Amino acid sequence: MPGFSRFTSLVDALPATVPFVGPEAIERGRGLAVKARIGANESSFGPAPSVLAAIREKAGDIWQYNDPENFALKAALAAHHGLSPANIAVGEGVDDLLGLIVRLVIEPGMPVVTSFGGYPTFNFHVSGFGGRLVTVPYTGDREDMDGLLAAAKRENAPLVYFANPDNPMGSWWDAESVVAFARALPETTLLVLDEAYSECGPAGSTPVSDALIDLPNVIRTRTFSKAYGLAGARVGYAFGTPETIVAFDKIRNHFGMPRLSTEAALAALADQAYLKEVVGKIGAARERIAAIAVANGLQPLPSATNFVAIDCGRDGTYARSIVDGLMQHGVFIRMPGVAPLNRCIRVSTGQPEALDLFEEALPKVLASL
Amino acid sequence: MPGFSRFTSLVDALPATVPFVGPEAIERGRGLAVKARIGANESSFGPAPSVLAAIREKAGDIWQYNDPENFALKAALAAHHGLSPANIAVGEGVDDLLGLIVRLVIEPGMPVVTSFGGYPTFNFHVSGFGGRLVTVPYTGDREDMDGLLAAAKRENAPLVYFANPDNPMGSWWDAESVVAFARALPETTLLVLDEAYSECGPAGSTPVSDALIDLPNVIRTRTFSKAYGLAGARVGYAFGTPETIVAFDKIRNHFGMPRLSTEAALAALADQAYLKEVVGKIGAARERIAAIAVANGLQPLPSATNFVAIDCGRDGTYARSIVDGLMQHGVFIRMPGVAPLNRCIRVSTGQPEALDLFEEALPKVLASL
């Protein structure tokens, strides 16, 4: 039986797709159990105990819609960053905000510049609004800012995506270079500066909060899904000039934020000591993942994120067989989607027990190939 | 300072707006405390104790993204309705699903038929995608199905919105009439049948779950925000033919569902005994609200929802002054937005303590006008 006959031509041309296959779907599809969940750059260190306490304490309020203005969370974020609440938009994860940003700027056929192999969910949204992806290869496993800038100018692109630190490679640029890149872009090009992993990077890898706050064509995005350990809560935020940020109010799902997620984010933000502790654990886990890679003759790449990309020295087919082989041992990891990045596998930091399983399984998988 | 200079022309033309002002914003703006929260059709009876237990028990999993396929919830909903999981789409509240539906169907300038005074958030989404609203007046405080059908045909509209039971009036049609309406629509017109309040209606007011499941041009929406008491969780769902429902996968925010919200919905669905108990309380509260209205010389309208519209016998200015006056006493209610519906105020059912405050404040407010 056919579906409804009159979806838009854009919708008719889109595939029904999931940008990422979840570990639960892999378990169902392959009849395997995930024992080490280190594939989605979640934080198995979890959120702070104070966050869990807040969720449990506030659970009884769940019959109430959340404040559609997100007043308390915007105020807390503003205080945290030394900005004004008017600089901040809150959304149901960065994925939601990315979709809104694309919608604000892109009409069918318009060019959107990103890196070849960059964040698939951004590309999903671009396709979903009919944008035309213009991709720039990574250079030296880093996003190529000069190439992105040239492409943006050449195409007169209204939108450019740049992640720092980067996913899926874990690489980064120093804050000064990022600021120079943003300031070099034409004012008619909106830069989405995705800083989902900024809490995990070394000093000097993320511009200070107000470094670009004067630029109407820059929106920076952050999330509680990574270092804060709240991937399942869906809380992201964006900051920029008030006049740019107010555009979200024109199209966002005003009652979209879950009440307990908001409470969780407020508690997480208030517990910076815990965040610091987790960032230390992430650093230690990165070192351990790198050591495991080296012990198995593989090459870990430097990382400013909560994961490590490991160069397996061959092609995407080989790396895929490692990913699939590890899953046979219950170790869920992922890998970049395109060459030459897909010579790598990507392993998220996590609790020592998860890394134990990875350490145990990796040599067996490599020996079996 | 101007914002980004190159938003789409559609976005430039949109106002920055909130479809509803939240009670928190009223508190902040007017320096008042909400003591009786009976304005947003939330359920102060709350979710089942089993739901709160599930949230507290699963809180520690919040570091994990939710399954992007929503497998477990779709399976549970399918079992509940006697449908297949392929018939069901899950979203971050019905508001999210309404936005997706509009996006699937509407290109700028296309006509969308709804009732004059119907759900503002649907209209917000239509405007947000550039649709042209074609409105049909209520007749006898009910949505006018004949009028909606005629408008859909006259305009060759690709999309029609119809709520049963209705918000903001609380009125309803019998299931047979709703089915006849759906079947009379051209197959090139998609019907959104919003059944957010269906659990609260009398027997025979909602078509059985499979009554329209053969029609590719019907999507029915339901929510956990009303009778299930989970407004703050943001869980809605839609059902229709598999071939129509799969379209959501082309554009939805796949990792958008919060993990604890999904757990809450699963637990709520499993506790139908609690739902039945709440529906009984909603019925009793409706009767009490009606009695309070009558005691004050006002006319309550029949309701199949978790609220009661009360005809105050004069114009919108008068009703507005009652709404504002009640808020001075800490009683938060709302009212319809347009004439002639705005001769009414709308009072949500709730705990006896909240209705006590309403009962106490209403005569004082009326006397003061």
pLDDT digits (tens, 9 = 90+) for B277-287: 999 999 999 99
Which chain B positions have a beta carbon within 8 Å of A2's beta carbon? Answer: 216, 243
Residues of B in contact with A66 (CB under 8 A): 232
Chain A residues whose beta carbon lies within 8 Å of the beta carbon of residue B8? 103-107
Q: pLDDT over 90 for what percent of chain B?
A: 98
- Output the average pLDDT for chain B: 97
User: Mean pLDDT for each 10-residue chunk of chain A (369 residues)?
Assistant: 92 86 92 96 97 98 97 98 98 98 98 97 97 98 98 98 98 98 98 98 97 98 98 98 97 96 98 98 98 98 98 98 98 97 98 98 97
Residue the block writes with tokens 């200079």: B5
Q: Do A28 and B71 touch (CB under 8 A)?
A: yes
Residues A68, B1: C-beta atoms closer than 8 Å: no
Q: What residues contact A280, with CB distance under 8 A and at least 6 apart?
A: none
Report pLDDT for A97.
Answer: 98
Within chain B, which residues score under 50 in pLDDT? none
The pLDDT value given to residue A35: 97
Which 3 state secondary structure label does DSSP give B86?
helix
- Domain annotation for chain B: domains and CATH numbers: 9-46+273-368 (3.90.1150.10), 50-270 (3.40.640.10)
Q: What six digits make up the tokens of B322? A: 């009652």
Residue B315, min C-alpha distance to chain A (Å): 29
pLDDT score at B1: 73
Pick among A95, A112, A255 to test the B interface (most B CBs inside 10 A): A255
What is the CA A337 to chain-centroid distance, rounded?
15
Query: Going along A20-71, which residue ranges are E strands?
Result: 36-37
H helix or E strand, kind and range, residue B115: strand B111-115
Closest Cβ opposite residue A128 in set B2, B22, B251: B251
Partner-chain contact B62 A19, CB within 8 Å? no
Three-state secondary structure call for residue A360 = helix
Query: In DSSP terms, which residues pair with B191 in a beta bridge?
Result: B160, B218
Residue of B69, B253, B259 to mutate for A, most A C-beta atoms under 10 A = B253
Closest-CA distance, A24 to chain B, in angstroms, reads: 6
Beta pairing partners, B113: B134, B160
| Tokens (6 digits) for B98 | 């309404």
Q: Let me know: does B159 contact B102? Beta carbons within 8 Å.
A: yes
